[in-house]
Amino acid sequence: MKHALTGLVALSLLAPSVSAQSLTGQPAQASDAYYVAARADLATRIAVTPNTGRARNIILFVGDGMGTSTLTAARIFQGQRQGVDGASTWTTMDRLPYAALVRTYSHDSLVADSAPSATALLTGVKARNDTVGVDHTVAVDDCAGSVGHGAVSLFETAEDAGLATGIVSTARITHATPAAAYAHTPQRDWEHDAELPAAAVAAGCTDIASQLIAWPHGDGFEVVLGGGRAAFLPKTAPDPEDPQARGLRQDGRDLIAEWKLKHPTGRYVWNRAQFDATTPARGEPLLGLFEPDHMKYEAERDQDVGGEPSLAEMTRKAIAALQQQDKGYVLLVEAGRIDHAHHVGRADLALADTVALDEAVAAALGMVDTPDTLVIVTADHSHNLTISGYPPREAPILGSVTRGDGVRSIASDGKGYALLSYASGPGAVDGPRSDVADIEHDHAPYPALVPMRSAAHGGEDVVARATGPWAHLLNGTIEQNLIYHIMAHALGEGADEPSTKAQD
């Protein structure tokens, strides 16, 4: 330490004589394109001033399973799809001025599932895997033990305070992430009554779909858009899109009909034509359930019989509806199918859904004023996707690794390999691995190391990016549940702080 301090003192004494020429002079590389671009980026960052005013609105985007490797691969994919250099492409998410690394472990696991991670984001506490909207004392499946241990969500406090609220997801609206906004249950799989065991029913637990309809806060959600129609319909009811399909409820309840009775001025839609025909109006809540199960992957959305809106279109519709209200709003937008694509080893589908999320972020930023709207983009957890090899910069991100001369790179076993692969998943083989000639391709899973029916989540930190009031608090490395507290502070406690009127 003594030698280090001595060196620092000596450097400080020398600094006045050497700094003027070395730090203000133009180096030889000053005209280099990379150098010029970085200097411009520096100027932009220097101009950003933290905004400490009160947030009137909050929009939280969650890319389910959107780890850092997914973000990088999707950026490259997005650029290449547009016919430009993928490596240097900037997504809308990339341009948000503040960022932090987020620790995603749950109370009982190094690797979280979506239920406790969404609970952390929306209630401010860490919980156990498979539980939603309850604190860490609640054990999985323990209905009796969950009584009195519900964790109040940001959406519940917002509704009670008179703000408008909304949820958008490409997953079932009763799935783990959207459920954390309104449900409290020791088991994330209790999405409809047929899933509840008799003991849970006897102990007073109710299914997630019915909790959404009975949600007692404020005047209820102003807008709910997603999939999962079957959990709201009785098993005797045919699905409007597929007459061969039926609802899942065994209690005979039609929760969609109940929602209509509860909201006589509301509008329920299930297809693209009805969605397009709706014009958001004050006092007219909107419920859209576009699939019996999850919504389609973005790359397959055009195959839907009834037609589905994109995530960006749902985001725009939700914001337009929420902007009709007086006091501001809180909105959750989830790209739920990034995770599902990774689980089945389909990196191509995952990247397309990540780009769709980026388009939704761009759509939102085009409609709101960031001086009074806090926008956060993050993930609930990562996945085990990897990007490896030494391909040329222009190599297709969905293809196999090649050398600079275009010849396929060969591993030590004499076979080619993919640029994208998984540590685990259905793309693994029992025995010698296959030669990867080309992955752009036949809808098969991408290669994996450990054979698993469903690829496992990743446990590394994810990224949170933000703009708007108090976005600067997202910096360094943070616990996932801190994001809730930042949002709550921006909405409420930040009200008495002076605003810098920053345009970040």
CA nearest neighbour of 330 among 491, 493, 94, 171:
491
Element (H, E) at 30: none
| CA distance readout (Å), 114 to 16, 105, 119 | 54, 11, 8
Phi, psi torsion values for 465, nearest 5 degrees:
-120, 150
Q: Which residues pair with 462 in a beta bridge?
A: 102
Phi, psi torsion values for 329, nearest 5 degrees:
-155, 165
d(CA 374, CA 368): 10
CA nearest neighbour of 337 among 294, 305, 377:
294
Element (H, E) at 269: strand 267-269
Beta carbons of 421 and 448 less than 8 angstroms apart: yes
Active-site pick, 106, 114, 210, 421: 114
Tell me how far apart the 2 most distant CA atoms of the chain are, in Å: 85
Beta carbons of 62 and 357 less than 8 angstroms apart: no
Beta carbons of 331 and 165 less than 8 angstroms apart: yes
Q: What is the DSSP letter of 470?
A: T
Beta carbons of 386 and 423 less than 8 angstroms apart: yes
Q: Is 114 a catalytic residue?
A: yes
Beta carbons of 80 and 444 less than 8 angstroms apart: no
In sequence order, which residues have a C-beta less than 8 Å from that of residue 327 and are 6 or more positions away?
56, 161, 162, 163, 164
Burial of 329 (0-12, 13-18, 19+ CB in 10 A): buried
CA nearest neighbour of 174 among 155, 193, 156, 160:
193
Match 């930042």 to its residue by tokens: 486
CA nearest neighbour of 499 among 470, 473, 475:
470
**So which residues are the catalytic ones?**
114
